[in-house]
Amino acid sequence: MRLLLRVPICTRRMQLCKFKPTQPRFWMDYGARLPAAPRRKSSVHPAPVFSPWGRPLTSLPRLRPLSGPSLLFLTPAGRGRAAVRHTPVAFASSSSAGSAQAEKNRADAEEARQPPTSVPLEDVKRILRLAHPERWRVAAAVGFLTVSSTVTMSAPFFLGKVIDTIYSTGTDIETMTASLTSLCIMLTGVFLCGGAANAARVYLMEVSGQQIIRNLRGSIFMSILRQEVAFFDKNRTGELINRLSADSAIVGRSITDNLSDGLRAVAQAVAGVSMMFYVSPSLASFVLLIVPPMAALAVIYGRYLRSISKRTQDALAQATQLAEERISNLRTVRAFGKELSEVNAYKQKTDFVLSLAKKEAKMRAGFFGVTGLSGNLMILSVLYKGGLLMANHHMTVGELSSFLMYTFWVGISIAGLSSFYSELMKGFGAGARLWELLERKPEFPLDEGHVLPPEQLKGQLEFCNVSFAYPTRKEAHIFQNLNLLVPAGTIMAVVGPSGSGKSSLVSLLLRLYDPDSGESTVKQICRRFVITVFPNGNIRTSSSAGLITIDGHDIRDLNPYWLRAHIGTVSQEPVLFSCSIRDNIAYGATDPDAVTTEDIYRAAKVANAFDFVQRFPKGFDTVVGEKGVLLSGGQKQRIAIARALLKNPKILLLDEATSALDSENESLVQEALERLMEGRTVVIIAHRLSTIKNADTVAVLDQRHIAECGNPTELLSNREGQFRKLMEKQAFLQEEQQRALL
């Protein structure tokens, strides 16, 4: 159990004001107010100058938790000022722009320090971890591989015996025929076993490979969806899709099909070399002198291929991103007649991919040209040296034939090892892009934090001294020390000029972003600290300015799943999925599979969507197309409202939901919205008076803070007020209303 105490420090006496079960924190206010503390690793230490108890804050007495969570207010008189020492440390997540760039620079520097022929051991461990769930199937495949390779590598030896039997002298024809028949029958059985084992190996490896790719793609997709919204502000969709599809397939192949072929090449090479030494040690020593330089060349080539493979995948991702973005916005491309320019832009991307492919082709041509030449030289050296040994009666024709076949198999195995190594390096190159996604920790947890009982949720919203700038535009502040209170069950309309940050309020309430920390200095207007008291009496302090709360609870302490499950949103341009209207409406429910047809019909009727949906030939089974392109703007809005109704949220956020509609559609949508808003806390981002007139309170955003807040009628009566000026500029006031206000 942890104890929350809120302690504003004003006098030296302690007052017990009220008890409230809430988050385990102290709130201590004294001096100037500090802005919000970011969710990062940092240290905020009050210097040991003065404290409410007359001693350094770091020496606070150990407190015992009470029988239940309680809220205490301590109000000591403090003539002394407690200075704040703030030591920023790197963010725990790499999601911010600066930290992301620093991480990238660090990775690039590390890669530059690595020699061109080095393979990070960590990459090998990651590859093995991917294959670990399929270890038993892969182990069985390796067992069948051993059988098939043994059969394959025993064939030259037995074929040599067959040749010696054929060319043997001093044996009658019947004896030779019997020996030849028995050898051929035995070899046929052995080869049948080898073929069956090889088929089993291929099947098991194929199944394992597809399973690994499936698991890998699932992990990548989950990792992508877990990232905070700021991550997608900096990473393009097409690039992420390329990693999800192409890169995962390359990595999957490198640890299944390619691994199988590589293991087979290793087994055959080892067995072949062993049999070569068994047949003729002197000839084997002579022939294998060419292997070490070829192995060194293969290593260098493979490492180069790893580097160029990563560059190729990056270039392909950029081309995929361009194509995905242009195709999804084809109507805009067509409207501006940019088809040819987009084709040229895509051609430039693919030309760069082609240039990298040409570099790889040159290296591949040189490498395989040298390996092919070395293989032919090995065969020639065997014939030359073996012929001399036969002439001196040190080898039989069967032994030379066996040795020649083993040399051939070793050559094929070396070529297979080279191909295996190059494909493995490709896998490492593609895998490097995947590890970035798999190992990236999101800044915001998805399913961690406190969950409030449903009966405790009233819906009061409060912005307390909030400053905010988007992570990709840190220098452009959207809010600065913004304060706003939305009482539970009321309708708050937020208006303001374009770009004033109205939609950003919605993003912050949904916790798509967190408020900024602001300046951590003693010159701030207010300094606030949070002190967490643990059951063992330990105390932890941290800064807590810049809060967004629901019913007094910091949304950063609440479970994000729970938070968003109780907030419904209807945006200006709602996004529908390329599925049926039924599925799009059911998407708003916590469990879409549990939604009945009656639930969908009821939500559609309240949203004024039932009639137009029923006029479609397929009714609620009509597929709406990508992003709902087959529906009009008003129809999409009403489907989105039905989706929000099915969610039955306690808090409703309407982001200019009617600003892009004509008067007829606006009337229908507005009627549906009025039904949706009943009994809920509503925040309306709006321009039109038809939407604002139903609001209990209007807040005017201007110059990064709330310029005005009050009843809409009272604000309109203020000639110099921002709200009246805004309404006049937007031409929302009718001529009669303007005369009435004069």
Please report, to the nearest 10 degrees, the dihedral formed by the alpha carbons of residues 301, 303, 305, 308 taken in order: -130
Low-confidence residues of the chain: pLDDT under 70:
1-120, 168-171, 295, 299, 302, 517-545, 658-665, 687-690, 730-742
Interacting residues of 29 by C-beta distance below 8 A, sequence separation 6+: 7, 8, 9, 10, 526, 527, 528
Residue labelled with tokens 């309430």: 509
Closest CA to 542 of 95, 97, 88: 88
Answer yes or no: are the C-beta atoms of 636 and 561 closer than 8 Å.
no
Q: Looking at residue 545, what is its pLDDT?
A: 57
Q: For 637, which DSSP code?
A: H
- What is the tens place of the pLDDT at every residue in 573-595? 788 888 899 998 988 887 888 88
Identify the three-state secondary structure at position 2: coil
Answer yes or no: are the C-beta atoms of 420 and 265 closer than 8 Å.
yes
Q: Looking at residue 540, what is its pLDDT?
A: 40
* pTM of the shown model: 0.65
How distant is the alpha carbon of residue 330 from its chain centre? 26
Buried b (16+ CB within 10 A) or exposed e, 715-732: bbeeeebbbbebbeeeeb
How far apart are the C-alpha atoms of 48 and 85, rounded to whole Å?
Answer: 10
Q: Phi/psi of residue 6, each to 5°?
A: -100, 120
Give the number of other Cβ atoms within 10 Å of residue 742's Cβ: 5
How distant is the alpha carbon of residue 497 from its chain centre? 34
Please provide the DSSP assignment of 486-524 as one string.
E-TT-EEEEE-STTSSHHHHHHHHTTSS-------STTS
Closest CA to 440 of 236, 241, 223: 223
- What is the tens place of the pLDDT at every residue in 106-138? 444 444 444 444 556 777 778 778 888 888 888
What tokens were used for 407?
A: 């040399």
Q: Looking at residue 696, what is its pLDDT?
A: 87
Closest CA to 317 of 241, 382, 402, 218: 241
Answer yes or no: are the C-beta atoms of 9 and 33 closer than 8 Å.
no
Interacting residues of 502 by C-beta distance below 8 A, sequence separation 6+: 494, 495, 496, 655, 656, 685, 701
How far apart are the C-alpha atoms of 33 and 547, rounded to whole Å?
Answer: 12
Q: What is the SS3 assignment for 579-626?
A: CEHHHHHHCCCCCHHHCCHHHHHHHHHHCCCHHHHHCCCCHHHCECCH
What tokens were used for 429?
A: 């190159």
Sign of CA dihedral 59, 60, 64, 65: negative
What tokens were used for 456?
A: 């405790």
Q: What are the boundaries of each domain within the chain? A: 126-439
Q: Phi/psi of residue 495, each to 5°?
A: -125, 165
How far apart are the C-alpha atoms of 336 and 291, rounded to whole Å?
Answer: 62
- What is the tens place of the pLDDT at every residue in 626-653? 778 888 888 888 888 888 888 888 898 8
- Residue type at 719 in one-letter notation: R
Burial of 568 (0-12, 13-18, 19+ CB in 10 A): buried
Closest CA to 429 of 123, 219, 214, 128: 123
CATH 1.20.1560.10 for domain 126-439: yes
Identify the three-state secondary structure at position 662: coil
What tokens were used for 47?
A: 């210097």
Q: Looking at residue 461, what is its pLDDT?
A: 92
